[in-house]
Amino acid sequence: MILFKRADKKLFLMLFALMLFAILPELLMPLYKATAKIGQDLVYSRAPILSLLVEHIWLTLFSSGLSAIFGIMLGVLVTTKAGEDFKQVVTMFGSIGQTLPPVAVLAIAAGFVGYGTKPTLIALFLYGLFPIIAGTIAGLNAVGRDIILAAEGMGMTESQIFLKVKLPLAAEVIIAGVRTSVVINIGTATIGAAIGAGGLGAPIMAGLINDNFPFIIQGGVAVGLLAVFTDRLISLFEMRIRAYRT
Amino acid sequence: MIQIKNLTKNYNDYAAVKDISLDIKKGELCVMIGPSGCGKSTTLKVLNRLETPTEGSVFINGEDISNIDPVILRRGIGYVIQNVGLFPHMTASENIATVPQLLKWDKNKIGERVEYLLNLVGLEPFEYSKKYPAELSGGEAQRVGVARALAADPEVLLMDEPFGALDPITRSELQRSLVKIQSELKKTILFVTHDIDEAILLADMVVLMKDGEIVQSGSPTQMLEFPVNKFVRDFVGTDRALKRLSLTKVETFCKPAPYVSLNTDISNAVEMIDNGIYIWVVDENEKPCGWLDAYMDEPTGFVKDYCTIDSFENFTVSKKQSVKEALNKMIKSGVNQLVVVDGDERLLGEISIDDIIQKS
Amino acid sequence: MIVGLFMAPLLSLKPNRLMPGDPGYLIDIAPLNDILLVLSLLVLFLIFANLLSWNKHLKLFMCLILSAIFYKIITISGDVALVRSEADFLARTAFTTGFWLFVAGYIVVMMQAFATVIEKKYDIKLLIILLTIAPVGLLFFNGGVGEISIFKELMSKQDRFLLEFKNHLLISGSASFSAILIGIPLGIYSFRHQRLSERIFGLLNIVQTIPSIALFGFLIAPFAWLASKSDFLDSVGFSGIGFAPAITALILYGLLPIVRNTYAGISSIDPSVVESAKGMGMTSGQILIKIQLPVSMPLLMNGIRVSFVQCIGNTAVAALVGAGGFGLFIFQGLGQSAVDMVLLCAIPTILLAVFADTIMQFIIKLTSPKGMDYDTD
Ligand SMILES: Nc1ncnc2c1ncn2[C@@H]1O[C@H](COP(=O)(O)OP(=O)(O)O)[C@@H](O)[C@H]1O
Ligand SMILES: [Mg+2]
């Protein structure tokens, strides 16, 4: 329990730092002054960091939420008797999908759908699908034969076995898949700025193009904090599930 | 051969081994026994310098082991542990060849040695040499473990509960193999177990430990006959008398018995029945083959016409077998006496349940 | 797939390289007998697929039919492109939604066929792979295909394409190689110093979590500063942008999977194995070389696989800090809205990653010690 409390405190601190920085990016002014070239803007002014953060969170949450719904459904489907035929191909799909470079997926989506939020969402959704599918299948597969046999022996129906035995046991691995997916999507959404998706990638991209280091820091620090915070948050959730189970 | 002098080993403040001293003679199998956590493994690990003593010293062949490079020392000592620890990526042969390779033996010599050892531990080389540990049963794996420990022909063998993880049948098979191997090789062995039957079966000397100290040491018979205190009594169990029987040989209770040959005239034979009940019958090689009952109506002819010939292995014991085995046989066959034979299976005498009960 | 073929435009008929084009449906652009051919092949395919549902022997036959359809579609497109560019040399004919939908379906069906082949039948698996890529190979024998926009793009940028291809390989190769050189010892070190290992993993985990583009960006200023302070570094081309920060960030990224898997591999070894090795008189170096590393090889190699494949993808992002590679074209193309240019490099990047993954899987199989069936996932 002490472990959780400490982790919670760290998490809270991180959230606080993220919010503070998003509202007041001027906090790091000395760093900006030290790294900026003469005559450059010190603070990204096209949009406040806070609204970019909100945009970024929305992008990831929306796409990852969809990926989670579809990914888990697909993973569950192929591990049932009805979907058995497609298990191999979907597993293969999941593992090959994870090797695809996110930039390439994003670029191809932009090539078809055009620029802006829409292709980014599509790419994030597709790309986020793979780790979740892989995690769901792996998690459900890992549930031991004898456990299921025991459940059958107790007279549970197929759906009861799924809801009361398989799903709770696989939950940890499934959530781990979701975590991977969300963290990757936060990163990919950042690159989405290159196709005009907005979000925290915008100041970084602007900084890279105009050689303006303060902009890079503003976007980078915010997105870095967001990613690390989200990763920790979901890990904590995983740990809770594990602790609850044992 | 091995002398342990005032050995103490502390982990932080906890004394795992307290001031123990022990002498093990060359060619002797010393079994160290005691409840778990009493410091047996720790003592063993001090001997091959996997642990460093807090106080005291150990001499092997008169040399203080703290003066020997641990790596060199260990290559000269065989080490067998409960979990075997075979290298999973190497075949049985490769596992066995490990130390000889470290010692840079000649390739052919290693090959011959591996084959010899596989045979020694009862594994057919052709079948087993190419197998990986994952393909071996628990018993087979530990046989390979023993062969691996013997690979470089070390004088000393340390065995830490080597058969502890095996099922009873496999365990007794391996115990018998070990007895056979030891009678051939005469190594100096320090063997750790917490199984008293195993200790009695294998030991030349037993060392009973408790809480890091030696409670009693001596031959198995001494331990059974003269337990020094209640702890030892409890540890060896209430069936001490029975256990002792497993240490006593049949010949101790063997007394001469009259017998007749198959071709003796029946009337002469009847006269020879001095106990009034039966007489043993032997064939032309003096091998017991049946008995003759005293109650017959007007017998004529030869013994072989009247002799009761049964599956006679159930009624004979060898003089080298233990009294416990003889008792087992009597109970199984439902008789009060068995005929005792010598090494050539010739009749030597008989052993009876009354004598065992009276004399022991 | 079928929807893609008939309902969506197959080709985009553009007046020039950058202007949007008119949709060209298969029905409109192809000669009648070609349409009939494709249609009858499709019907044949559907009959087989539905009635005989993946019967073993017909699987290959079906792949062949599909492969033929794919080939036919490409050649039809090639012919159209040829005719159009002969009429107007500025005109561009590009693959579009219909074509790519078909390709996506094509890959899925082929993968399904591949996935249902029994594990050991390598010859059949190879045959399916060959059938899948054969149509693309056959393209080189068709004159018209060169007139399709994406290939035209390739022709016109051939030298740069090859150069960036080389750059991409060079950057991800050297970064991965360095990550291996640092990662394996670091993994061994963390195993031996359990206390420190937590910190090492905490740090590497944070590095992995930070979006790549931010990490690249962060490194620019320190590197520029270093270069400005040291004439030597400056003189060897070390600067805030380019190879140096890119490779550094890529190495940092690549470390975690390698360190983690090295650590996990060594930890997974039964302690009794190491104890008996030690008891037999192996030095700690011998234990590492002869026991710990070989036994953990499958896990370790899998870490290298993940690291390498990930590195190929991240190298594309590295173009943003001026490191070159396929990413350069991708971002340039995105900037100019030149779809063909983007695809020209995005597709090879994907192929490179998938190819590297396959090769590594193969190497893992080769280097896994016999006698152990490890699940590397
Ligand atoms: N490395 C160690 N650190 C601390 N305590 C230990 C260590 N190894 C053994 N002990 C303790 O020393 C005692 C004796 O252990 P051991 O020799 O393994 O007993 P056993 O007789 O069962 O083989 C036990 O109480 C054990 O907890
Ligand atoms: Mg022990």
pLDDT in tens, A68-93: 999 999 999 888 877 777 787 788 88
Report the distance separating Cα B129 and Cα A144, nearest Å. 34
Residues 259-278 of C with CB under 8 A from B: 270, 272-278
**What is the position in ligand 1's atom list of the atom closest to the CA of B36?**
22
Q: Which of B211, B240, B269 is the last residue of a domain?
A: B240
Does B246 map to a domain?
no
Pairing of strands B55-60, B2-11: antiparallel
B201: CA distance to ligand 1 center in Å? Answer: 26
Estimate to the nearest angstrom the gap between the alpha carbon of A99 and the chain centroid: 16
Instruction: With beta carbons under 8 A apart, name residues in chain B contacting C272.
Output: 81-85
Whether residue C29 has pLDDT greater than 70: no
**Six-digit token string for B201:** 């079966």
The chain-wide mean pLDDT, for chain C, equals 80
How much distance in Å is there from the Cα of B15 to the middle of ligand 1?
A: 9
B16 C-beta closer than 6 A to ligand 1: yes
Virtual torsion, Cα B132, B134, B140, B143, nearest 10 deg = 60
- For residue B306, give the CATH number of its domain: 3.10.580.10
Pairwise CA distance, residues B55 & B40, whole Å: 16
Q: How many residues in total does chain A contain?
A: 246
What's the gap in Å between the CA of C287 and the closest CA on chain A? 32
What pLDDT was estimated at residue B286? 82
Ligand whose nearest atom lies closest to the CA of B43: 1
Of A28-37, C89-98, C230-239, the range with the highest mean pLDDT is A28-37
**Do residue B271 and residue B198 come from a single domain?**
no
| Closest to C320 measured CA to CA, from C216, C180, C186, C209 | C216
- Output the CA A3–ligand 1 centroid distance in Å: 29
pLDDT of res. C57: 64
What number is the ipTM of this complex? 0.88
Lowest mean pLDDT among A43-47, B129-133, C13-17: C13-17
pLDDT at C22: 62
Instruction: In whole angstroms, give the CA distance from residue A188 to residue A209.
Output: 18
pLDDT at C358: 86
Amino acid A73: pLDDT: 92
Measured in angstroms, the CA of B69 and the nearest CA of chain C are apart by 10
The pLDDT score that the predictor gives to residue B358 is 76
Pairing, β B347-352 against β B337-341: antiparallel
For residue A194, list chain C residues with Cβ-Cβ distance below 8 A: 320, 331, 334
Is there a contact between C227 and C241 (Cβ–Cβ < 8 Å)? no
Query: pLDDT at residue A201 above 70?
Result: yes
Site to substitute for ligand 1 among B4, B14, B46, most atoms within 8 A of C-beta: B14
| A34 pLDDT above the threshold of 90 | no
Assess whether B130 and B53 both reside in one domain. Answer: yes
pLDDT at C257 over 90: yes
Compare CB distances from B102 to C282, C372, C373 and report the shortest one's residue: C282
- Looking at domain A50-245, does it have CATH number 3.40.50.970? no
- The arithmetic mean of pLDDT across residues C356-366, rounded, is 88
Sheet holding B347-352, edge to edge: B316-318, B337-341, B347-352
Query: How many of the other CB atoms lie within 10 Å of CB of A39?
Result: 5
- CATH superfamily, region C158-367: MetI-like (1.10.3720.10)
A59 neighbors A117 (Cβ within 8 angstroms): yes
Q: What is the three-class DSSP state of B341? A: strand
Across the range C70-76, mean pLDDT stands at 78
C-alpha to C-alpha distance for A198 and A201, rounded to whole angstroms? 7
Residue C74's pLDDT is 77
pLDDT of residue C82: 74
Distance (Å) from the alpha carbon of B242 to chain C's nearest alpha carbon: 37
Q: Who has greater pLDDT, B70 or B302?
A: B70
Q: Select from B240, B268, B285 the last residue of a domain.
A: B240
Chains A and B touch (3+ CB pairs under 8 A): no
- Other Cβ atoms closer than 10 A to A67: 25
Q: Say whether pLDDT at B172 is over 80.
A: yes
Q: Number of B:C CB contacts under 8 A? A: 78
Distance B9 CA to ligand 1 centre (A): 10
Q: Quick one: pLDDT at residue B147? A: 95
Whether B72 and C270 lie within 8 Å, measured CB to CB:
no
High-pLDDT (> 90) share of chain C, %: 30
Domain residue ranges in chain C? 2-155, 158-367
Asked whether B245 lines ligand 1 (CB < 6 A), one says no
- What is the span of the domain harbouring residue B258? 251-359
pLDDT in tens, B177-231: 999 999 999 999 999 998 888 998 899 999 999 999 999 999 988 888 888 888 8
C-alpha B153/C-alpha C337 separation (Å) is: 77
- Sign for the CA dihedral angle at C197, C198, C202, C208 comes to positive
Q: Are residues B198 and B262 in the same domain?
A: no
Task: Kindly tell me whether chain C and chain B come into contact, counting contact as 3+ Cβ pairs under 8 Å.
Answer: yes
- My answer on whether B262 and B229 are in the same domain is no
Q: In chain A, where are the structural domains located?
A: 50-245
B202 with B278, same domain? no
Q: Which of B20, B41, B46 for a ligand 1 pocket mutation test, highest count of atoms within 8 Å of Cβ?
A: B41
Q: How many residues does chain C have?
A: 377
Partners of C116 on chain A (C-beta within 8 Å) are: 88-89
Average pLDDT for chain B: 88
Whole-angstrom distance, CA of residue C64 vs CA of residue C70 = 10
Q: How far apart are CA B303 and CA B283, in angstroms?
A: 11
Average of per-residue pLDDT across B118-140: 93
Residue whose structure tokens are 């800090």: C321
Residue C23 has pLDDT above 70, yes or no: no
For the Cβ of B39 lying below 6 angstroms from any atom of ligand 1, the answer is: yes
Tell me the C-alpha to C-alpha distance, in Å, between residue B54 and each of B16, B19, B51.
Answer: 10, 10, 9
The token duo for A138 is: 């792996």
Tell me the average pLDDT across C261-268: 94
Protein residue with least CA distance to atom 14, ligand 1: B39
Those residues whose C-beta lies under 8 Å from the C-beta of residue C56, and which sit 6 or more positions away, are none
Is C369 at the interface with chain B, CB within 8 A?
yes
Q: Which of B175, B208, B240 is the last residue of a domain?
A: B240
Distance CA(A75)–CA(A84), nearest Å, equals 11
Chain A with chain C: Cβ pairs closer than 8 A: 139
Residues lining ion ligand 2 (Cβ < 5 A) are B 41
- Number of independent structural domains in chain B: 2
Chains that touch B (3 or more CB pairs under 8 A): C
Q: Is B41 in the same domain as B114?
A: yes
How much is the pTM? 0.83
For residue range B268-290, list pLDDT tens digits in order.
777 777 666 788 888 888 888 88
pLDDT digits (tens, 9 = 90+) for C153-205: 777 777 888 888 999 999 999 999 999 999 999 999 999 998 899 899 999 99
Q: Which residues pair with B351 in a beta bridge?
A: B338
Which range (A29-33, A36-40, A155-159, B163-167) has the least confidence? Answer: A36-40
Q: Do C327 and A103 touch (CB under 8 A)?
A: yes
The answer to whether C349 contacts A103, with C-beta atoms less than 8 Å apart, is yes
